[in-house]
Amino acid sequence: MKTGHLLDELINITQISKSDFALKMDMSPSGLSKILSGNRLPFEKEKSEFSYRVAKLIADATFEYNCYFKFQNIFPIIYNFSTKNDLEEFLTCAVEYALDQDFAYVNNRNNDYPTTEHCYLGAKATQNMYCILGSDYLTTYKNENLEFYSTTPFYNKFYFEIFPKVEILSAFHYPKMSFNHLINYDYLDSANDDFCLNFLRAIELMQRVGDFNLWTIDDTITNSFLLLKGHFLITFSVQLDGTPIMTYIRHKTYLSSFYNSMMSKNARKLSFSRKEAQATLLNHPKLIDKFINRGIVASYNFVPFGFFLTKEELHKSFEDRKLTDSILNMLNTTMYGDSAFYLNIDSLTSFYNNGKLIVPLLGTVIINQKDRLNFFKRYDPAISETKKNKLNVLNCDLPKVSIIHANGLSIIYTTDSEYKKEKFHLVKTNRIHETLMKSISTGNLKEMNFNVDLWNSYLGELTSKPASKF
Domain assignment present for 133: yes
Domain assignment present for 131: yes
Residuewise pLDDT in 10s, the chain (470 residues): 889 999 999 999 999 998 999 988 988 888 889 888 888 888 888 889 999 999 999 999 999 999 999 999 899 999 999 999 999 999 999 999 999 988 888 888 888 888 888 999 998 999 999 999 999 998 888 888 889 998 876 655 566 667 767 888 755 567 778 899 988 777 677 666 666 777 888 888 888 878 899 998 877 777 789 999 999 999 988 888 888 899 999 999 999 999 998 888 888 899 999 999 999 988 898 999 999 999 999 999 999 998 889 999 999 999 999 999 999 999 888 888 888 888 888 888 889 888 999 999 999 999 998 898 889 888 888 777 555 556 788 888 888 899 999 999 999 999 887 888 899 999 998 988 988 888 888 888 888 877 778 888 888 887 776 655 55
For the domain that residue 195 is a member of, what is the CATH number?
3.30.870
Domain assignment present for 308: yes
Question: Is the domain of 177 the same as that of 285?
Answer: no
What's the number of domains the chain is made of? 3
pLDDT value at residue 129: 94
The pair phi, psi for residue 298, each rounded to 5°, is: -160, 160
Domain assignment present for 412: yes
pLDDT value at residue 209: 79
Which of 225, 243, 269 corresponds to the end of one domain? 269
User: What is the DSSP annotation of 123-175?
Assistant: HHHHHHHHHHHHHHHHHHSTTS-EEEEE---TT-GGGTTTGGGEEE-TT---T
pTM above 0.95, yes or no: no
The parent domain of residue 280 ranges over 272-463
pLDDT value at residue 85: 95
pLDDT value at residue 190: 66
Mapped onto helix, strand or coil, the DSSP state of residue 305 is strand
Question: Is the domain of 319 the same as that of 426?
Answer: yes
Question: Is the domain of 400 the same as that of 295?
Answer: yes
pLDDT value at residue 172: 59
Question: Is the domain of 346 the same as that of 247?
Answer: no
Question: Is the domain of 99 the same as that of 128?
Answer: no
Show Cβ contacts of residue 448 under 8 Å, excluding neighbours closer than 6 positions.
Answer: 345, 393, 394, 395, 454
Question: Is the domain of 121 the same as that of 220?
Answer: yes
pLDDT value at residue 389: 52
Domain assignment present for 130: yes
Question: Is the domain of 310 the same as that of 429?
Answer: yes
Question: Is the domain of 223 the same as that of 280?
Answer: no
pLDDT value at residue 336: 82
**Is residue 34 within 8 Å of residue 40, measured between CB atoms?**
yes
**Is residue 266 within 8 Å of residue 218, measured between CB atoms?**
yes
Question: Is the domain of 323 the same as that of 374?
Answer: yes
Question: Is the domain of 182 the same as that of 162?
Answer: yes
> Measured between alpha carbons, how far is 203 from 389 in angstroms, rounded to an integer?
29
Domain assignment present for 470: no
Question: Is the domain of 180 the same as that of 209?
Answer: yes
Q: Is 15 left (phi over 0), alpha (psi -120 to 50) or beta?
A: left
Question: Is the domain of 332 the same as that of 425?
Answer: yes
Q: Is 131 left (phi over 0), alpha (psi -120 to 50) or beta?
A: alpha
